[in-house]
Amino acid sequence: MKIARFSRLGFILAASGSAVGLGNIWKFPYITGENGGGAFVLIYLVTVLLIGFSILIAEMLIGYVGRKDGVSCFESLAPKHKNIWKFAGFQSVTGLFIMTFYSVVIGWILNYIVTSTTALPASIQEAETTFTTMLSSDILTQLFYHTLTFLLITYILTKGIKGGIQRLNFILMPILIIILLGMSAYALTLDAFSQSLEFMFAPKWEKINSGVFITAIGHAFFTLSLGMGAILTYSASMPKNSNLVQSAIWITLLDTVIAIVAGLMLFTFLYEYGSSPAKGPGLVFISLPTVFYEMGIIGNFFAVLFFIALAFAGLTSAVSLVEPMIEYFIDRFKWSRLKASVSMGLFFYLFGIVALLSNADAYKEFLTFGSRNFFDWMDYITASIMLPLAGLVMALFIGYSVEKQRVESLLKAQFGAIAFQVWYFSLRYITPVAMILLVLSLLEII
- Binding flag, residue 19, ligand PHE (CB under 6 A): yes
**Shortest separation between residue 188's beta carbon and ligand PHE, angstroms:** 24
Candidates 32, 237, 316, 320; binder of ligand PHE (CB under 6 A) is 320
**Shortest separation between residue 231's beta carbon and ligand PHE, angstroms:** 8
Q: Terminus-to-terminus CA distance in the chain, angstroms?
A: 45
Span near ligand PHE by CB under 6 A; candidates 19-27, 64-72, 82-90, 421-429: 19-27
* Helix, coil or strand: residue 241: coil
Of the candidates 9, 57, 54, which has an alpha carbon nearest to the alpha carbon of residue 410? 57
DSSP H stretches of helix in 236-373: 244-272, 287-294, 297-333, 337-357, 361-364
- Amino acid identity of residue 61, one-letter, is L
Nearer to ligand PHE, 19 or 134 (CB): 19
Nearer to ligand PHE, 230 or 407 (CB): 230
Span near ligand PHE by CB under 6 A; candidates 2-10, 15-23, 45-53, 338-346: 15-23
Of the candidates 267, 193, 224, which has an alpha carbon nearest to the alpha carbon of residue 37? 267
Q: Of 146-175, which residues contact ligand PHE (CB under 6 A)?
A: none
Candidates 196, 225, 233, 441; binder of ligand PHE (CB under 6 A) is 225
Question: In angstroms, how far is CA 417 from the centroid of its own chain?
Answer: 31
Of the candidates 439, 433, 441, 420, which has an alpha carbon nearest to the alpha carbon of residue 58? 420
Nearer to ligand PHE, 228 or 288 (CB): 228
Candidates 53, 222, 293, 424; binder of ligand PHE (CB under 6 A) is 222
Span near ligand PHE by CB under 6 A; candidates 53-61, 109-117, 224-232, 241-249: 224-232
Of the candidates 364, 326, 330, which has an alpha carbon nearest to the alpha carbon of residue 348? 326
**Shortest separation between residue 23's beta carbon and ligand PHE, angstroms:** 2
- Binding flag, residue 390, ligand PHE (CB under 6 A): no
Nearer to ligand PHE, 99 or 396 (CB): 99
Nearer to ligand PHE, 19 or 110 (CB): 19
Residues 216 and 40 sit within 8 Å (Cβ to Cβ): yes
Nearer to ligand PHE, 166 or 225 (CB): 225
Sign of the dihedral through C-alpha 253, 256, 259, 260: negative
Nearer to ligand PHE, 34 or 272 (CB): 34
- Binding flag, residue 21, ligand PHE (CB under 6 A): yes
Degrees, nearest 5: CA angle 385-24-14: 90
DSSP H stretches of helix in 137-204: 139-158, 160, 167-188, 193-201
Span near ligand PHE by CB under 6 A; candidates 22-30, 42-50, 158-166, 324-332: 22-30
- Binding flag, residue 316, ligand PHE (CB under 6 A): no
- Binding flag, residue 230, ligand PHE (CB under 6 A): yes
- Amino acid identity of residue 144, one-letter, is F
DSSP 81-130: -HHHHGGGGGGHHHHHHHHHHHHHHHHHHHHHHHHHTT---SSHHHHHHH
- Residues lying near ligand PHE in the complex (CB under 6 A): 18-19, 21-24, 222-223, 225, 228, 230, 317, 320-321
